[in-house]
Amino acid sequence: MNKNKAQDIRILVIDDEPMMSDSLRRHLEEEGYAVDTAATGAEAIDLFDGGAHHLVICDLQLPDMDGLTLLRHMKDSRPTTEVIVVTGYGSVQTAVEATKAGAFYFVEKPFDFEELSPLVEKALERRELMAETANMLRQLSTRAEYFNIIGSSKQMQTIYETIESVAKSDANVLIVGESGTGKELIANAIHYNSLRAKKPFIKVNCAALPKELIESELFGHTKGAFTGAHADKEGLVQHAAGGSLMLDEIAEMPIELQPKLLRVLQERTCRKIGSEKSCPVDFRLITSTNRLPADAIRDGYSCATIARANGGYSIAHGPLLEAVCREVRSAHRRRLAVGISETVWASVARQRARTAKRDRARRAVGERRSHRAGRLAFR
């Protein structure tokens, strides 16, 4: 084990033979571990109950207590602490009893430290793995609040898992949900659980900005670029440098801004209004909408296209999750709940476009027939 990592590990050695106890302590300290020693069961219990030992090396033959009794006490008190049992009076029955009581391994005296050292490392690795697994299961089964998002249902647990997996990436994110269902809370959780957490998190509601000002707010402008531009101004994409930019109600963004925002996402450069010079930008885009993405695509809005540029994710929650799921075949439903692929979105868009085109064609045919019938009647 790395010595820097070993410094955080505390080991308790329990043996009534001073030479054995001192020898183990010396070898373990040379490996970088912090070591406590005890010569009796009572002393061991005091040290164990008052400390935070990651591993115990325990002799079964103690002057005041049976080693198996001590072993059971330690495993009952802290099940994650591993115990390696050593004894000079080994037998198959004793080894079986020690294993049943929770011992990690049974070693007979005399032994070389070279034999014990790999066992120490394996026991510590097992303890760390079991602690991580228990912590993960506890979070998944009992988590009712996550970054101020309250909910313990299976659907909410799925959203929590999605947030954690999405946050660690740097992909763009689209959050779909009705107004008032906590889309901004999900955005907060994604940003503050990501590697950009210590950088700015800039938020803007596209529906609250006049359409003629959105471009200036997003990308900035130079002095004299338009009437009222009395000074240079940095855009929100520059203010979000190193952090995240949330565009709330992205479906309300003017359609003519789609190409410019998509270019910024793809090229990672931005040009202010009135400037001929492009400057690099570094931000993560988080968008939200209360529209079904397929409806936005059909109506010419930008939410799905922009948010999924550069391989983004989608998170649907609330009643809209059920509506989104109904838009594709049931084979896609599980995948949809934790992030919808670009292929699925494209399939939905094509299907909606074909339906709209067919409806328009039918209406046109009906109008022509009505017009022809009117002309015949007039004659």
Tell me if 61 sits within 8 A of 89, measured CB to CB: yes
**Both tokens of residue 48?**
């164990």
Domain that includes residue 324, residue range: 154-361
Q: Are residues 93 and 61 in the same domain?
A: yes
The answer to whether residue 235 sits within a structural domain is: yes
Q: Are residues 163 and 132 in the same domain?
A: no
Q: Are residues 97 and 204 in the same domain?
A: no
User: What per-residue confidence (pLDDT) applies to 43?
Assistant: 92
Sole residue written with tokens 């397929």: 294
User: What per-residue confidence (pLDDT) applies to 147?
Assistant: 65
**Both tokens of residue 295?**
């409806």
CA distance 247 to 253: 9
Sole residue written with tokens 């209406």: 363
Q: Are residues 299 and 265 in the same domain?
A: yes
CA distance 288 to 311: 16
Q: How many domains does the chain have?
A: 2
List the CATH number of the domain containing 302: 3.40.50.300
Q: Are residues 94 and 169 in the same domain?
A: no
What does residue 373 show for φ and ψ, rounded to 5 degrees? Answer: -65, -35
CA distance 168 to 120: 33
As averages over each run of 10 residues, the pLDDT of the chain (379 residues) reads 67 91 91 91 90 89 88 89 84 81 86 88 88 65 59 73 83 82 86 90 87 87 86 90 91 81 88 90 89 61 51 57 40 37 47 64 66 51
User: What per-residue confidence (pLDDT) applies to 97?
Assistant: 85
List the CATH number of the domain containing 11: 3.40.50.2300
User: What per-residue confidence (pLDDT) applies to 150?
Assistant: 67
Beta carbons within 10 angstroms of residue 91's beta carbon: 10
Fill in the DSSP letter of residue 273.
B
